Structure 1
Amino acid sequence: MQTHVFAGFFGGMAAAVTLQPLDLLKTRVQQAPAAGIASAVKSLGSIHEAWRGTLPSLIRTSVGASLYMGLLSKFRDIRAEHSARISPLSIEKSSASSILPKLSALDNVLTGAAARSIVGFIMMPITVVKVRFESNHFNYRSIWSAVYDISRGPSGWKGLFSGYGATISRDAPYAGIYMLFYEASKDVLQLGWLPSPLVNSAAAVNASVLATTLTAPFDTVKTRIQVSVSNLTFPEAWKQITAGGWRSLFDGLSLRLARKALSAGISWGIYEEIVKLVAKRNILANETT
């Protein structure tokens, strides 16, 4: 499990720093009705502002990814061991490019959703701070000033968990759908001549595009709730957004697609290779002792 935590941390860190501008622009597109990419870009005072919120994003993505990968690997191992007890011949690698255990479609969905729901709750306060930093509705100078301001709001400390319902409505289905299609995509992309890192990264991009598109409305609602200072509820935020037409639920989708697809390609590509590298080193170490 430690290997998965370590691999998830560095994969998430690389993706967070590289893709922060896309996350920031997505937040600004979703924070107000009729906001477009052009107006979001114009709102940037300088190129440096495109990386505003990088620190909370870095904490959320790297720590969140390490916790998620650790829990996910644990849950997957439990399901693989359970399957092995029922059918001793059922344990195998998920694909030629991976050493992760092969699970059923249902187990892929359930393990992904369960791990994401738990980590989403743990990381919720830093998620709210991250979104507030990215929004130009606020002018926080530090993470602590953001925490202080949010906790002094109408909801008190509960404000640090604002939008949790919308977040889980997005993250649990996203993670379940993602794992289902990630594992299926790896099988499809086994062409023999493609290197494993490329197979895993391409599978991650493919799975992320589908999962991101299907859960986009909940991401828009989540952002609108978290940048609001009037304690919007899920139904209120949904009604406010759809007042501009149902397509408004997909505001910022192109930016989120680009960010999530690239992030998945980077983080899962790094994650799978680190896990394989550590496994090979452990095998060599055991052979020499």
Structure 2
Amino acid sequence: MFINNMDLSPVVKSFVAGCCSGTCSTLLFQPLDLVKTRLQVHVPLACTSGRIGMVSVANAVIRQENVLALWKGLVPSLSRCAPGVGIYFSSIHMLKTKFQSDQQRALESVVIGAVARTNAVVTLIPITVLKTRYESGLFDYKSIPRGLAHMYQTEGLRALFSGMAPTLIRDVPFSGIYLMFYTKFKAMINESRSTIYIKLHKCLLIIIYPSQSCIT
């Protein structure tokens, strides 16, 4: 409601709402992100059991440090996720206006989602690299600017963009596909119930008849 009352353009409103959404999700799920990173980089842990999993890693972090250590790397995560989600949703809104169609086709949704995610990834990949390093526990950067400066001075510009290609390969198709399905399901929900029932009936016929012919 507060955002709707503000005299802002729709693109800026999308960015602000995305930033707020990214902030909330980061605060909630930062412990899981930290545990995932520790598992991926194989940080040595003094676990009581022989097996290393999510629970044992979380327990080891709490035991060796404290509960708040599960939110280690929160500032880099917020610096990446909050504007990242904002850039993603504002890019989607801006690209939708470019297509200027009442009902998006599947390919349009894929392109919009892919381009929006590319914008977010390329813009914030240096922060992503810093966040991952900080969460691993192997690096002790005092602040985001100092961390970025240290990486650039010691490893060069390529270090700031390390892992960008795999990230794009993973995130871009995924974002395009889930925006396509989101758009399609949203359109279906907005239709009348009778139309949905007809479509579901047709889908069932398409599935059932070939299966019956295969059985017989």
Same fold (TM over 0.5): yes
Unaligned runs of 5+ in 2: 46-50, 197-216
- Return the alpha-carbon distance in structure 2 between the equivalents of residues 130 and 281 of structure 1: 43
Distance 1:266 1:141, change over 3 A: farther
Moved more, 118-127 or 264-273: 264-273
Pairing partner for 2:16 from 105, 110, 117: 110
Pairing partner for 1:122 from 16, 19, 28: 28
Amino acid at match of 1:116: G
- The answer to whether the aligner puts 1:183 opposite 2:89 as a matched pair is no
Q: Secondary structure at the match of 2:89?
A: helix
- Return the alpha-carbon distance in structure 2 between the equivalents of residues 115 and 249 of structure 1: 26
Pairing partner for 1:170 from 80, 103, 112: 80
Amino acid at match of 2:40: E
- Return the alpha-carbon distance in structure 1 between the equivalents of residues 39 and 189 of structure 2: 36
- Kindly state the Cα deviation for residue 220 of structure 1 after the two structures are TM-superposed: 0.5
- Kindly state the Cα deviation for residue 126 of structure 1 after the two structures are TM-superposed: 0.8
- The answer to whether the aligner puts 1:276 opposite 2:187 as a matched pair is yes
Match of 2:165 in 1: 254
- Return the alpha-carbon distance in structure 1 between the equivalents of residues 161 and 147 of structure 2: 14
- Return the alpha-carbon distance in structure 1 between the equivalents of residues 147 and 192 of structure 2: 51
Q: Which has the higher helix share?
A: 2
Moved more, 231-240 or 269-278: 231-240
Q: C-alpha offsets along residues 97-119 of structure 1, whole Å, 9 cap, x if unaligned? A: xxxxxx71111111111111111
Count the aligned residue pairs. 188
CA RMSD between the two structures: 2.9
Unaligned runs of 5+ in 1: 1-74, 87-102
- Return the alpha-carbon distance in structure 2 between the equivalents of residues 167 and 220 of structure 1: 10
Amino acid at match of 1:221: L
Match of 2:200 in 1: none
Distance 1:174 1:282, change over 3 A: farther
- Return the alpha-carbon distance in structure 2 between the equivalents of residues 230 and 178 of structure 1: 29
**Percentage of matched positions with identical amino acids:** 19
Q: C-alpha offsets along residues 202-255 of structure 1, whole Å, 9 cap, x if unaligned? A: 101001111110111100000000111565433454344222113311111111
User: Based on CA coordinates, which of the two structures has the bigger radius of gyration?
Assistant: 2
Distance 1:230 1:175, change over 3 A: closer
Higher relative contact order (CA 8 A, sep 6+): 1
